[in-house]
Structure 1
Amino acid sequence: MKITIISYDNWGLNNHLKIALEKNGHTVRHINFFDFKYKYPNFRSKLYNLILKIISRKNIKNIYYGNEILKILRENNETQDVILTIKGEFIDPKSILEFKKYTKKSIAFFNDSISRCPRTKNVITCFDEVYSFEKEDCLKYNLKFITNWIYTTPSTNKQKQYQVFNISSKDRRFTITEKIASSLKEKNINYKIIVFDKKNKTQISNVEFTSKQIPLVEVNDYLNNSEVLLDINRKHQKGLTFRVFESIGLEKKLITTNTDIINYDFYNPNNILVIDEQKPDIPLTFFNTDYEKIPEVVSNKYTLDQWIKQVFY
């Protein structure tokens, strides 16, 4: 098949999808609109965009992304069998509808909840088929449920530099991140928590800040050099993040604030510690037991190959 992936791939995770599809013999193009940098010409334009978003729910950036993507599709001038759009909520609906001129089938995957990103409602009807990792959204809006995927494999590195590792962007989760870091520090648990912050002002904190996007290869090094991975879910979101599937692929324990994880078939309290985000309690005993391998019949459901079979075939 001829496939085009359109995604806002700020961490480089969707490139694994491209590589896996190519290994299966497909011709794949990846349009990563994270690389499209829109700059407001002046302050007036920025103010106009703010007013536009409030009054008409339109966004100049989203229109810009859509126009740039359409330019590439026109230049390619070749009908695709499938166009898969990930993070389509960042593209204006008119452009998404135009994608259909260049493909036999237009599919979307959303790995954010609609309650957190209400603008998703404006675009879900623009696709032929829509998948989401949020169970409640699937029930409410008649979408197809699918999780993120496993792209990692068990680490051969037996010596670990850190007991706990997490990397995330600075957002509303930061207060929770700091609470967890303080709890880890109090218990002398060795950890590395990196927070990506564009402004990167000097801050006194128990976490490490960076203003530079860390390549996925480097992130994977940290993952491999850690005993336990830390996952902090966003407010109004129950869908499982990639951190969960990194832990499964690497066969590592997980600490998470996502209470819905107990409803998945791979949940094992020996491997997964669910903590209260307001009062995080991380018992030292969690580190004293070995990881219990998940049966392959279960873990195989969440592999990238299985994801491809469900979405593309």
Structure 2
Amino acid sequence: MKIVKNKKIILAITDDFKIKSCIEDNLKQIGFDVITITPITNEKFKYKNLKERFVNFIKKNIYNDLDYKKTLRQNFNKEALLKKLNTVDYTLTIRADLFENDFIDKLIKCSTKNYAYQWDGLSRYERIMMLIPLFTKFYIFDKNDLSQKNITYPTTNFYFDCYEHLLKKEPKYDLYFLGSYDSRIKKLIPICELLHNKGYKLNIVLICHSKEELNKYPFIKYYSTPFSYYENLQMAADSKCIIDLHHDSLHTGLSFRTFEALGFNKKLITTNQIIKDYDFYNSQNIFHIDENADFSGIDDFIKSDYKEIDSIIKNKYSFTNWIKYILEIDQNTPIKIP
């Protein structure tokens, strides 16, 4: 559904997991003309002139100095990014800390409406604090980062509502998890081992090389190359239930897994207790694993039907409403953090 006409937006975003492609798809579906900029340009490096090539040859082959070309490449990348800047109606920057100051300075001159979203805890990135005041509004998803009133604004993550065709997929698996090999493994293995022994079909994907200590578990699959975010959505759509193990040491906000489940009408098993404070929480759809790892009732939970969420509540967390709220477009539903 087109909600805007003849509006241009610059999307400055990290290239992690290719989620930018999904954001582009959703922005275009609702009517935006999108200019996407990532911190690292894909344009092939070129010397500006013969002098640069000659100096690099001398430094590399005579003085064994590799920093000169590295500096040239960095400057080339900066210039390539800056060339993409143009006058637009909005700018949206996700993970502003990944962009250099001179780029941010020039970016916010492209529009009078400049917004930013940090989908990670602010405490992890010291530099981000100096960038917050530069934007029209700076949004965060962790309640702990709202301490500076009127400087940061609340939101959550979201689900993409431009992929309705995935809703029609018949699940192949009972449960799905995608993640890296990190401290969450200690929580993941007991959960999956229990469910595997109960006969459930699991799709447990770790982005890493095979780990010897985990090879005894037949339900784990290893991939050394990360999936794109859209591929992740395809696998989520292929499952009845999604497992979410949040990084409790990094932030308290709700992960994208939560909203994938909401958007695709999937059940969710999660370790994040704050989910109970949200308006879409329903114990028939969401199973919270507490610190005691109490799994009583897990069979009834998985086997029972998904309970439809009120459409007004569900739509509030769609990307379409999220972007309207972020950019302060009329007729949005405000997104708060309980």
Q: Which TM-score bucket, shorter chain as reference?
A: 0.7 to 0.9
Distance 1:277 1:117 in 2: 28
Confirm or deny that 1:29 pairs with 2:43.
Answer: no
Kindly indicate whether the alpha-carbon contact (under 8 Å) linking 1:107 and 1:130 is maintained by their aligned counterparts in 2: yes
1:176 maps to a residue whose letter is K
Counterpart of 1:276 in 2: which secondary structure? Answer: coil
1:250 maps to a residue whose letter is F
Pick one of 90, 104, 116 that aligns with 1:82: 90
Kindly indicate whether the alpha-carbon contact (under 8 Å) linking 1:6 and 1:85 is maintained by their aligned counterparts in 2: yes
Distance 1:103 1:18, change over 3 A: same
Distance 2:38 2:85 in 1: 18
Q: Alpha-carbon deviations, 1:50-87, whole Å to 9, x = none?
A: xxxxxxxxxx99xx5xx677524532352222221111
- Aligned counterpart, 1:183: 194
1:195 maps to a residue whose letter is L
TM-aligned CA deviation for residue 118 of structure 1 = 4.3
79-88 vs 210-219, which moves further: 210-219
Count of residues paired in the alignment:
289
Distance 2:252 2:89 in 1: 32
Counterpart of 2:191 in 1: which secondary structure? Answer: helix
TM-aligned CA deviation for residue 4 of structure 1 = 0.7
Aligned CA RMSD, in angstroms, stands at 3.0
- Aligned counterpart, 2:159: 150
Distance 1:250 1:311, change over 3 A: same
Kindly indicate whether the alpha-carbon contact (under 8 Å) linking 2:96 and 2:128 is maintained by their aligned counterparts in 1: yes
Distance 2:82 2:97 in 1: 22
Confirm or deny that 1:254 pairs with 2:260.
Answer: no
- Could you list the runs of 5+ residues in structure 1 that have no partner in the other structure? 47-59
Distance 1:17 1:294 in 2: 24
Kindly indicate whether the alpha-carbon contact (under 8 Å) linking 2:40 and 2:77 is maintained by their aligned counterparts in 1: no
TM-aligned CA deviation for residue 11 of structure 1 = 2.0
| Correspondence 1:2-17 to 2 at 5 A | 2-17=8-23
Distance 2:20 2:274 in 1: 24
TM-aligned CA deviation for residue 231 of structure 1 = 0.9
Q: Alpha-carbon deviations, 1:185-222, whole Å to 9, x = none?
A: 3433321111112xx15433133221112233432332
- Aligned counterpart, 1:170: 181
1:230 maps to a residue whose letter is I
| Correspondence 1:6-155 to 2 at 5 A | 6-33=12-39, 70-76=78-84, 78-140=86-148, 142-152=151-161, 153=164, 155=167
2:154 maps to a residue whose letter is F
Q: Structure 2 length as normaliser, TM-score?
A: 0.75
Confirm or deny that 1:239 pairs with 2:253.
Answer: yes
TM-aligned CA deviation for residue 311 of structure 1 = 1.6
Kindly indicate whether the alpha-carbon contact (under 8 Å) linking 1:31 and 1:69 is maintained by their aligned counterparts in 2: no
Kindly indicate whether the alpha-carbon contact (under 8 Å) linking 1:97 and 1:127 is maintained by their aligned counterparts in 2: no
Kindly indicate whether the alpha-carbon contact (under 8 Å) linking 1:7 and 1:34 is maintained by their aligned counterparts in 2: no
- Could you list the runs of 5+ residues in structure 2 that have no partner in the other structure? 1-6, 44-59, 330-338
Rg larger in structure: 2
Kindly indicate whether the alpha-carbon contact (under 8 Å) linking 1:7 and 1:14 is maintained by their aligned counterparts in 2: yes
Kindly indicate whether the alpha-carbon contact (under 8 Å) linking 1:194 and 1:209 is maintained by their aligned counterparts in 2: yes
